[in-house]
């Protein structure tokens, strides 16, 4: 009987990593989580092997990964990923995000892991010259966090060019939503992302912050391309399946819906879904926030033969279902 492929999820205890672990299991893979649990509590992964290691520590990570095998592929989710915070502690972002990537790349070579799927970000594009943004757009980050993602892509591309392993960068746009089936959602303290904060605002009857209303957009608020985290996880599964099947793949793919929603439009959508008015507190715009980020998903649709299924309303509904049962 053929063994199910084992996939290592570095940083797999986080929001996106955990969701992807469940999606991989449903697709017949064997997920193995490796995480230092610095930004997330140990999740309820009763069916998965969980390894604890600081990914910036080569020896510690090496010891952990040598306990398992053989590994069919590795997905690197682990990163500090808050744009405003990256301006406050840039050195820690460079150290954490790049050292973990370099360590995992070297260990992939040492342990013969043939596929390296990298969680990249639309932050690599900075303030784009045109929208929607294609994968061929200039990489010009507007934050230290975005810098680290560009540098990680360059580092991994060098390994790919040397024939060490297959590499594909998935450039996420704005993940949102939850997976109530597995009691899994976005849990940060403090929470910085829009949809979770809208739900928290509704639960606690507190105002939500609107960061900037003078951008060069139709209603003055930032425009983002939101994708349901379950759809994002499915994109990882499809990408892995194609790489394992030996299909020719591009070096990077945008992962979004190709539809932009302004912050004010998302607030209105949340009010409609939740059936209540949300208080808004206007704040100055944040450093590193481009006015508009919307993916050109033409290549994603073609290469993966796939389109995200869930709407913005689904993201709000699922976050509400999950968060309203967890927030005291």
- Rounded Cα–Cα distance for residues 221 and 280 (Å): 13
Q: What is the pLDDT of residues 163-194, one digit of tens each?
A: 999 999 999 999 999 999 999 999 887 888 99
Give yes or no for residue 39 having a pLDDT over 80. Answer: no
Give yes or no for residue 239 having a pLDDT over 70. Answer: yes
Asked if the 6-176+228-255 domain carries CATH number 3.40.50.720, the reply is yes
- Identify the H or E element spanning 174: strand 174-176
Q: What is the pLDDT of residues 144-164, one digit of tens each?
A: 999 999 999 999 999 999 999
182 noted as active-site residue: no
Q: Band of the pLDDT at 41, cuts 50, 70, 90?
A: low
Q: Residues of CATH 3.90.25.10 domain(s) within the chain?
A: 180-224+258-326
Q: How many other CB atoms are found less than 10 A from the CB of residue 254?
A: 26
- Rounded Cα–Cα distance for residues 192 and 177 (Å): 14
Q: Residues of CATH 3.40.50.720 domain(s) within the chain?
A: 6-176+228-255
- Over pLDDT 70: what percentage of the chain? 97
| pLDDT for the residue numbered 328 | 60
Q: Band of the pLDDT at 44, cuts 50, 70, 90?
A: low
The reported pTM is 0.96
Unique residue bearing structure tokens 């309303």? 313
| pLDDT for the residue numbered 222 | 96
- Considering the domain 180-224+258-326 in this protein, what is its CATH number? 3.90.25.10
Give yes or no for residue 106 having a pLDDT over 90. Answer: yes
> Per the residue annotation, which of 15, 93, 125, 145 is the catalytic one?
145
- Rounded Cα–Cα distance for residues 54 and 308 (Å): 33
Q: Band of the pLDDT at 80, cuts 50, 70, 90?
A: very high
Q: Which of 68, 95, 77 is nearest to 20 (CA)?
A: 77
């Amino acid at each position: 009987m053929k063994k199910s492929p084992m996939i290592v999820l570095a940083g797999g205890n986080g929001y996106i990593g955990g969701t992807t672990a469940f999606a991989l299991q449903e697709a017949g893979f064997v997920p193995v989580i490796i995480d230092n649990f610095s930004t997330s509590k140990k999740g309820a992964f009763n069916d998965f092997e969980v390894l604890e290691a600081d990914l910036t520590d080569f020896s510690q990570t090496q010891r952990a990964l040598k306990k398992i095998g053989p590994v069919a592929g590795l997905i690197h989710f682990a990163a500090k990923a808050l744009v405003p915070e990256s301006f406050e502690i840039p050195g820690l972002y460079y150290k954490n995000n790049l050292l973990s990537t370099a360590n995992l790349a070297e260990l992939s070579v040492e342990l013969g892991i043939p596929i390296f799927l990298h969680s990249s970000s639309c932050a690599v594009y900075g303030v784009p010259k045109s929208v929607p943004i294609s994968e061929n757009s200039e990489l010009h980050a507007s934050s230290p966090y975005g810098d680290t993602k560009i540098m990680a892509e360059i580092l991994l591309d060098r390994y790919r060019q040397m024939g060490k392993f297959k590499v594909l960068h998935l450039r996420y746009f704005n993940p949102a939503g939850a997976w109530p089936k597995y009691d899994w959602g976005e849990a940060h303290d403090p929470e910085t992302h829009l949809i979770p904060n809208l739900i928290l605002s509704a639960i606690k009857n507190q105002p939500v912050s609107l960061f900037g209303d003078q951008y060069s957009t139709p209603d003055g608020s930032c425009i983002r391309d939101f994708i349901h985290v379950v759809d994002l996880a499915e994109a990882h599964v499809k990408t892995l399946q194609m790489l394992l099947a030996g299909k020719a793949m591009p070096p990077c793919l945008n992962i979004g819906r190709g539809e932009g929603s302004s912050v004010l439009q998302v607030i209105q959508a949340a009010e409609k879904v939740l059936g209540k008015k949300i208080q808004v507190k206007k704040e100055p715009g944040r450093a590193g926030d481009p006015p508009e980020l919307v993916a050109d998903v033409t290549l994603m649709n073609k290469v993966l033969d796939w389109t995200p299924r869930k709407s913005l309303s689904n993201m709000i509904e699922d976050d509400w279902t999950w968060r309203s049962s967890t927030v005291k």
